[in-house]
Structure 1
Amino acid sequence: MNSLEEELTADEKEELAEAAILAGRGYKIGSLLGKGAFGEVRTASYRRYDGRVEKLACKVIDVKKLKEDFMEKFFPRELEIVRWIDHPHVVVTHSILSRRSKVYVFMEYASNGTLLAYVKKTSNIPERRVQRWFRQLASGVHYLHGHGWAHRDLKCENVLLTESNDVKIADFGFARPVRSYTGKKEKSATYCGSRAYCAPEILRGRPYDPLVSDVWSLGVILYVMMCQLMPFRNKNPKKLLREQESRTWKFPDRVLAAFSQPARALVLSILEPVPAKRMKLNAIVDQEWMKGRDSSDDDSVR
């Protein structure tokens, strides 16, 4: 009978060797959290020099599966932005390790999963919680924009919930700087992000200001938190664009009764299909509704 070593495939042998090397640096990869076209996200841990164990998440990127344009353009940008991020409502990177065909991005672990998962299991989210979470989201996006970067893929799946009931913006695979190396502001021409959260200017297929389109995506997230459904549900891009431009969305009756007029007015100002008329992020963070009383444990995430 063959030995265990002989029975292992080449890929399995490589995984064991990688695990041993990571363990030598204090890291251990755990269970699967999510999977994408170019890799996966897993739980992880890091044993500090003092013996304490820190729980992390790890994005494992298989470089061999990256498409050429992603490898040349998007992937280097993601690695660049995650190196310097430091904000309480943006996922902070612990370390980045590159090993052969794999890149391991170790980052903060958000134990309560995604905002999408929370919305799906919750019939109604109180206005105070929506207010608090949206204030945190806007703060995180404001930080990114202030450092000259657009996220370009803001959606409920990319908003994580921590053990302390705070939100963290994650996944910078489509993030990009908004200025060229000469300092000139540049528009985006790439159709990226999730269609249901895409601004009309992206669906029109013309160059767009990614900072302004990020604001639209924030508006969709705010609507979803308030209503537990999408404002625009058509999967056909042309029909979706017509829905956005004709402002066919509305609030369910239960939301009209449960949420204040300033909250509803804010969504209306953000989901403005004309980019030049859309509320600016600076104006959003200055809204009185955004300054409402915070409550760190208004009701624990269940």
Structure 2
Amino acid sequence: MKQDEILQDGHGRRFYYLRLSVTDVCNFRCDYCLPNGYQARHQQPDLSVAEARTVMRAFALLGTRKVRLSGGEPSLRKDLPELIHSAKTTPGIQRVAVTTNGYKLPSLIDSWQQSGLDQLNVSIDSLDSDEFARITGHDCLPRILSGIDRALELDIHTKVNAVLLSDGTQARLYQFLNWLKTTPVTLRFIELMQTGDNRDYFASNHVRGADLERQLINAGWQLIPRALDAGPAREYVHPDYAGRIGLITPYSKDFCTSCNRLRVSAQGKLHLCLFADAGLDLREAIQTGDADVLAEKVRALIGNKEVSHYLQQGNTGGTQNLSIIGG
């Protein structure tokens, strides 16, 4: 595709990266997202493999290079390997990623790799087993870590996501730093984001990543360049560590200026922003199976993308929790 055909919004941002949710169901009960467990909010079925393939083909026509399959928890779909294979074999898609809580990772990672998985993101908010169980509702940290070890054996580029929480930040940081000495993953600290369901929790637990970033820089961590299809993290390396550290700080100034990703929900709605007021329904166009038709619809809608998520003003849009469209 010619460079001038790449999807671009009215603010000059170009979009190389699609986050495609394949389910909003999740089996974890994380304090900051689904403390009471998953509650269905809709009646529509999730996108089928054929429908997901049409979405990926359409976005590839618009210049998308990377597809991330997310949730909810995508491993709850038995056809996830088929979805990975569909992404991997879509002309124009260069990188296929999955974000998971890792609960089923040891038993599934080989099949994902065989289907074409390039990158894995696993959510681990603490390396302390008891604290992990308290945050998620599941006492399974050793199993998840063994799944990560297997992913590394399979040469899958692996990242670990950890939400920054005000209580115990330094203790968790030291645990992660010790782990990164010998473990070649990218650990990404993510600022807690306010959603419609977690306002009180956010008020009690939010901590900005800027202080942690200064601490890392003072300790000799060095910023590396960001790829065109990379996520929003600023990644740092240190010569004494096998792993890297990334920071995702959505409350920082100008965070949205580098936005390069769009989201489609498991029900076929286009979310121009994680915190947009509502998704834009693409299901009818998706069901035609015509990627060109769908691509033109997306191109027509991109002009509605706002310049910012306005999180700083307390806006949460239609995002009641992050499992809805994969964070």
Structure 2 length as normaliser, TM-score? 0.24
